[in-house]
Amino acid sequence: MRLGILFLISLTVFAEKYFPDERWETAESDQVGLDQEKVDKLFRMTFEDEASMGAVLIKDGYIIQEQYAEGFNENSFGTSWSTAKSFYAALVGISLDRGEIKSLDEPVANYVDSYKTPEKQKITIRQILNMTSGLEFPDHEHEMMFLEADHLKYAEKVDVENPPGEVFQYNNVNSMMIGEILKGATGKTAKVLLEERIFSQIGLEEYTAWEDSAGNTMTYCCLDMSARDYSKFGLLFNRDGNWKGQQIISKDYVDESLQLYWGKTPSMGWSHSDTRGYSLQWWISKYDDDAKIYNTSGKFGQFVFIDRDRDVVFTRITKYYPTEGDVQNWGALGYLRFLGSINRALVVSRFLMSIGLIDFEDGSVKTPYTNADGESKEFYENYVEIVNAIADLEKDA
């Protein structure tokens, strides 16, 4: 009789949608219909990769399991790299909701003066977000922009090489232009908007949003926060853009983001899978009868996976050692931009660190930076299996 009463209480508690606040509640896998052996397998595969710093599994808003590498904990910051793209793209949806942007199919030129040229005037906001703008895409994939003092100046100089809307190319310049579109629509920087319109609304307080040396928000990368806080953003999209009864982002924009736009993206060398889809700065990693799983994705292995139908969020970040500040300053490493390759820049900078000529801890260099111990290998190799494991966490019928 007592067990029956407890079961009914449990059903009542978990029937209502729970949102975390200052304290994030936990639940056992059994309470939310998950198989603990399957959960353990997911975490085992995740931490087979020694680059893993932290991982959090959330079901129905509750933390079911989390794990951290030695020396790190639930408060440790990871850096997002391109996971930030999905965060900043959400601000475009909010501007649409508020009427500041009329349509995703408007020309970027309506908001950005540098796009009022014969070559760029037909590029739409949707094409920017879907990586189909046709902007030039060199061998270094514009990763070299990261080493510049003024990332926007670099981005605005990039010309067009393909007709807009025809070719998918994962181009960081597209995402860097999100900040200028938002500024043209609202008069505010993307960093300010992110705090005002999303983070302050979902109780996300401890984070770093990076700007370049010229004061431009780096909207193609570079948000630092804990694995739990990255997960809050995933939960917001799982809940159709609603947080505790307040519609932060319209369901229509969430629906449009979480759809199969590009069904198969081309291999990009660094990618762990060439079968992923893409839509409005979100990746689609699984889209079949078993599950539909979407994710943010960042260089070296930063992910927020969401299974919207099952209300599951799985976040994984890699080892990271934050520097001071939130404005990028390359200091003595400024010459790295002349090496012409981000990989060469990593090799040289890591060598200088190993012999003690450069020390990120002394504050002379301020930037997001991933050491060799934060570069994924096994997680990428097992990527498809990991995605399938996320889709199969429930108890068997």
When pLDDT is cut at 50, 70 and 90, the band that residue 343 belongs to is confident
When pLDDT is cut at 50, 70 and 90, the band that residue 260 belongs to is confident
pLDDT tens by residue, 133-182: 999 998 888 988 999 999 999 999 999 999 999 999 999 999 999 999 99
Torsion of CA 140, 146, 148, 154, to 10 degrees: 70
Average pLDDT of the residues in 206-220: 98
Place of tokens 């759809």: 259
* Least trusted range by pLDDT, from 51-65, 116-130, 279-293, 329-343: 329-343
Average pLDDT of the residues in 298-315: 97
Predicted confidence at residue 336, as pLDDT, reads: 83
Pick the CATH number of 78-323+372-391 from 3.40.190.10, 3.40.710.10, 3.30.420.60, 3.30.930.10: 3.40.710.10
d(CA 147, CA 169): 21
Res. 57: pLDDT tops 80: yes
Is the dihedral angle over the CA atoms 243, 130, 286, 39 positive or is it negative?
negative
d(CA 149, CA 79): 20
- Return the closest-CA partner of residue 323 out of 216, 219, 208, 230: 208
Buried-exposed string 276-308: b where 16+ CB fall within 10 A, e elsewhere: bbbbbbbbbbbbeeebbbbbbbbbbbbbbbbbb
Res. 93: pLDDT tops 60: yes
